Structure 1
Amino acid sequence: MSPTPADPDAWNAYLAEGNAKQARKRVAADVLIRDPLGRVLLVNPTYKPGWDLPGGMAEANEPPEEAVRRELREELNHDIVLLGLLVVDWVAPHGPWDDQIAFIFNGGTLYGDEALRPHDHELSEACFVPLEEARDLVSERMRRRLDAAVKALEDGRPVYVHDGTANW
Structure 2
Amino acid sequence: MDLLPFEEYAASLNRKRASAGVLFRDAESRVLLVETTYKRTWEIPGGSVDADEAPWRTAVREVLEEIHINRPLGRLLLIDHIPTDGPMPEGLAFVFDGGVITEEEVTGIEPTDPEIRSVGLHTLDAARDLVKPGLARRIEVALDVLVVTGEPALCESGYRVTARERR
Same fold by TM-score greater than 0.5? yes
Q: TM-score of the superposition, structure 2-length normalised?
A: 0.86
Aligned to 2:165: none
User: What is the aligned residue count?
Assistant: 156
Structure 2 spans left out of the alignment, 5+ residues:
163-167
Aligned to 1:122: 115
Aligned to 1:10: none
Identity %: 37
Aligned to 1:11: none
Q: In structure 1, what is the Cα distance between the partners aligned to 2:143 and 2:103?
A: 22
**Secondary structure of 2:59's match?**
helix
Say whether the 8 Å CA contact 2:81–2:157 is kept in structure 1: yes
Matches within 5 A, 1:24-103: 24-103=15-94
**Structure of greater Rg:** 1
| AA matched with 2:127 | A
Structure 1 spans left out of the alignment, 5+ residues:
1-13
Q: In structure 1, what is the Cα distance between the partners aligned to 2:75 and 2:31?
A: 17
**Aligned: 1:136 with 2:136:** no
Q: In structure 2, what is the Cα distance between the partners aligned to 1:117 and 1:83?
A: 23
Q: In structure 2, what is the Cα distance between the partners aligned to 1:167 and 1:77?
A: 33
1:16-50 Cα offsets, whole Å, 9 max, x none, are: 44322211110010111012332210000111111
From 13, 18, 38, the counterpart of 2:9: 18
Say whether the 8 Å CA contact 2:22–2:63 is kept in structure 1: no
Q: In structure 2, what is the Cα distance between the partners aligned to 1:127 and 1:167?
A: 30
Structural RMSD (CA): 1.8
**Aligned: 1:164 with 2:158:** yes
Say whether the 8 Å CA contact 1:31–1:106 is kept in structure 2: yes
Q: In structure 2, what is the Cα distance between the partners aligned to 1:167 and 1:157?
A: 13
Say whether the 8 Å CA contact 1:45–1:51 is kept in structure 2: yes
1:71-111 Cα offsets, whole Å, 9 max, x none, are: 11111122131120011000011111210000110111124
Q: In structure 1, what is the Cα distance between the partners aligned to 2:159 and 2:103?
A: 34
**Secondary structure of 1:134's match?**
helix
| AA matched with 1:56 | G
| AA matched with 2:76 | L
